[in-house]
Amino acid sequence: MLLIQKPFSVIAPSKKWILENCNVNDDAKEWINKLPGPYTLILTKKNAKIAGNVAPNVNTIGIRIPNHWFSSIVSELGFPVVTTSANITSENFMTSLEDLDDKIKSQIDFILYEGEKSGRPSTIIDLTKNAQIIER
């Protein structure tokens, strides 16, 4: 059983989906226009099209459209796909399967691994009020 303490993020199928399902202010529109990109945008949920167990007990959701081939699959599906980080907050980020923390590894059923990563995790921007970068 996966023991998740924090809300998941989703890879959105499109910018239009974000506008239809999240509350978007002017700051958020600027960040949405930067997608696809290395950002996780924290937005308030607008309606019930986002499953309650994706972000339990909170009115916010992390939204991503990474610059990655998988985003095109999500776009074709037309609905968001739940995603999560293989990193633990405030610890070194994973760059290869050898770096994957044993606590995470023991809870994973499936990994799509494309080799060692040289980039950094996405920048998290809280857009529930004024834009605020909360993690790089």
Residue 2 lies inside a defined structural domain of this protein: no
Task: Return the CATH number at 41.
Answer: 3.30.110.120
Distance CA 75, CA 15 (A): 10
Residue 71 lies inside a defined structural domain of this protein: yes
Q: Which helix (H) or strand (E) holds 104?
A: helix 102-105
Residue 111 lies inside a defined structural domain of this protein: no
Angle at 115 between CA 31 and CA 9, to 5 degrees: 35
Diameter of the chain measured on Cα atoms: 41
pLDDT for residue 82 = 83
User: What residues of the chain score a pLDDT lower than 50?
Assistant: 1-4
Residue 23 lies inside a defined structural domain of this protein: yes
**Is residue 123 within 8 Å of 41, Cβ to Cβ?**
no
Q: Which domain holds residue 30?
A: 9-85+121-135
Total tally of structural domains belonging to the chain: 1
